[in-house]
Amino acid sequence: MSAEQTGGDRLPTEDHHEGGFRPISELADEVRGVPEADIARGGPHYRQFISQVRGLMDRVRLANPSDELALETIATLKELNDKLDAAVVDEWSTPLWTRYDVPARGNITVPPYAVHHVGPDGIDATITFRDYHLGGNSAAHGGQIAVGFDELIGMAAAVHAGAVTRTASLTVDYRSITPLNTRLRLRAWAERREGRKVFLRATLHDGDRLCAEANGLFIVLNPGQQ
């Protein structure tokens, strides 16, 4: 596999001693924004690729297919999955390490978000819960809200500590309905650090209305820990 396919020396190595994670200094630099998107991995069509996958997830969430459509879709998806088998790589070689030009770095397992500010005072981001994240009655699923908090609180913890962290505890309080297909503001920040423990808070707002808030405890990894 070529250096371009793997990201070359941008990938974490054993020398970084960060448990197989990308070096946190590079993460912080890229979250802050780069002049031009690095498309060495994923290529120029990766953003649209992820967009179409998310669109499929939305439609499947609400679909009630006929037998004919279900069989046709199964055949199409099987053919597509067979094609994608040739593109599957290990987790270090995916575009997620570098594609900050794509919502949520292209990670379809979390709600799409964009980071607008990162610094010692925390992270400000916008996040959107789509049809796929539906819990019921047009509201976002509580578990998906927790996923969004975990992703961005974890980023705030890593930037604050200057090291890789893992979630130890995450408590979410749901204050009002979180709407779908609405750009919401999520803010996460560290309150204090005690040794390897980083204590954080986060809020999720729809305009001036508080939808949810969270408290997190993240642990700084020792060298070589995963």
pLDDT digits (tens, 9 = 90+) for 116-161: 999 889 999 999 999 999 999 999 999 999 999 999 999 999 999 9
Contacts of 113 (CB under 8 A, 6+ apart): 103, 104, 125, 126, 127, 128, 148, 151, 152, 186
CA–CA distance from 8 to each of 40, 62, 70, 92, 98 (Å)? Answer: 10, 41, 42, 11, 12
State residue 17's pLDDT score.
42
For the chain, what percent of residues have pLDDT higher than 70?
82
Model confidence at 1: pLDDT above 50 = no
Residue 102 has pLDDT above 50, yes or no: yes
Specify the pTM: 0.86
More confident residue, 31 or 123: 123
- Overall fold of domain 106-220: Thiol Ester Dehydrase; Chain A (3.10.129)
Cα(226)–Cα(222) distance, integer angstroms: 9
Mean pLDDT of the residues in the chain: 87
